[in-house]
């Protein structure tokens, strides 16, 4: 396929990508607004699907994939609204996540598969923690939407300006213009959140760094796909590929966002 054919294919996919993206944002925003069991359930479903896609990328058997998913389901269950009543339970769940990874590596002898349990489970724990704080909807929306804004800004900046490639051996389509555009878009969004909803300064100022980290997460997943010899991590999302393809930037951002929230407590 020539570059011109690739460009035409991207343009033809844009309406499908936009419709799917809008639907995903609507579902996530609705669950975020309602909170409780619905937000937890959406996170759980996303994590289980992501781990299945991760298992396919790292190469494993169907039986080992199921073992990893069942192992992850235990700490995910402890994140349910009825379970996390006191804050110490978050640390207990964190321990269970590492325990699930340890169990998976002992049973399957697949270190990369066990790493996927942490890769998919830690962001869920972070998002659940953020949502259940005072003003949790603001913190969680910030963590989610800065990644959305970064993705949108990077996509349109990269297409508009082109220029030098960011990491051509890993992802030939990503450019420095996309990185800069995505960072600017996320930073502008954080500024709006600060002035309109009181997002703390430490989070507002950290947003450009988190935007760059989000794109680093995207590159990491692109590296996994290139190593596996596939274009997408899955096919569940029309025009986007797999769930992992859409949430790869959120994976490193969510835990860091949770750390930023709790930092002042260590100095109080």
Q: Is the dihedral of CA 220, 225, 226, 232 positive or negative?
A: negative
Instruction: Please report which confidence band the pLDDT of residue 173 belongs to, taking 50, 70 and 90 as the band edges.
Output: confident
**Residue pLDDT, tens place only, 87-107:** 547 888 999 999 999 999 999
- Whether 79 and 124 have beta carbons less than 8 Å apart is answered as yes
Return left, alpha or beta for 193; rule: phi > 0 is left, psi -120 to 50 is alpha, else beta.
alpha
**Residue pLDDT, tens place only, 58-93:** 999 999 999 999 999 999 998 888 654 445 478 889
Rounded Cα gap, residues 218 and 66, in angstroms: 25
The reported pLDDT for the residue numbered 12 is: 56
Q: In the chain, how long is the greatest CA-to-CA distance?
A: 59
238 strand-pairing partners? none
- Whether 217 and 251 have beta carbons less than 8 Å apart is answered as yes
How confident is the prediction for the chain on average, in pLDDT? Answer: 89
176-194: burial string, b at 16+ Cβ within 10 Å, e else: bbbbbbbbbbbbebbeebb
Burial class (CB in 10 A: 0-12, 13-18, 19+), 246: buried
The radius of gyration computed from the CA coordinates of the chain, to the nearest angstrom, equals 19
The alpha helices in the chain, defined as continuous H runs, are 3-34, 36-58, 62-78, 88-108, 111-131, 136-161, 176-197, 201-228, 243-247, 250-266
Of 61-65, 120-124, 230-234, give the lowest mean pLDDT range. 230-234
Rounded Cα gap, residues 63 and 117, in angstroms: 15
This prediction has a pTM of 0.89
């Amino acid at each position: 396929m020539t570059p011109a054919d690739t460009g035409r294919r991207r343009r033809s996919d844009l309406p499908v990508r936009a419709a799917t993206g809008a639907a995903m944002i609507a579902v996530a925003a609705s669950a975020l607004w309602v909170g409780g069991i619905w937000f937890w359930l959406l996170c759980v479903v996303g994590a289980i699907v992501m781990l299945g896609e991760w298992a396919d990328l790292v190469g494993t058997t169907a039986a080992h994939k199921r073992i990893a998913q069942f192992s992850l389901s235990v700490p995910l269950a402890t994140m349910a609204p009825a379970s996390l009543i006191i804050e110490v339970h978050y640390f207990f769940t964190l321990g269970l996540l590492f325990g699930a990874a340890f169990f998976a590596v002992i049973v399957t002898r697949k270190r990369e598969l066990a790493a996927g349990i942490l890769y998919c489970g830690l962001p869920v724990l972070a998002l659940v923690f953020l949502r259940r704080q005072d003003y949790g909807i603001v913190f969680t929306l910030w963590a989610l939407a800065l990644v959305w804004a970064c993705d949108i800004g990077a996509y349109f900046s990269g297409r508009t300006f082109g220029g030098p490639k960011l990491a051509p051996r890993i992802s030939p389509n990503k450019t420095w213009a996309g990185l800069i555009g995505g960072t600017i878009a996320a930073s502008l969004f954080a500024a709006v959140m600060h002035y309109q909803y009181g997002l703390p300064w430490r989070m507002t100022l950290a947003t450009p760094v988190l935007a760059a980290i989000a794109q680093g997460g995207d590159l990491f997943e692109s590296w996994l796909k290139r190593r596996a010899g596939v274009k997408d991590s899955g096919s569940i999302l029309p025009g986007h590929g797999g769930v992992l393809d859409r949430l790869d930037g959120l994976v490193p951002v969510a835990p860091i966002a949770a750390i930023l929230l709790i930092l002042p407590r260590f100095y109080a």
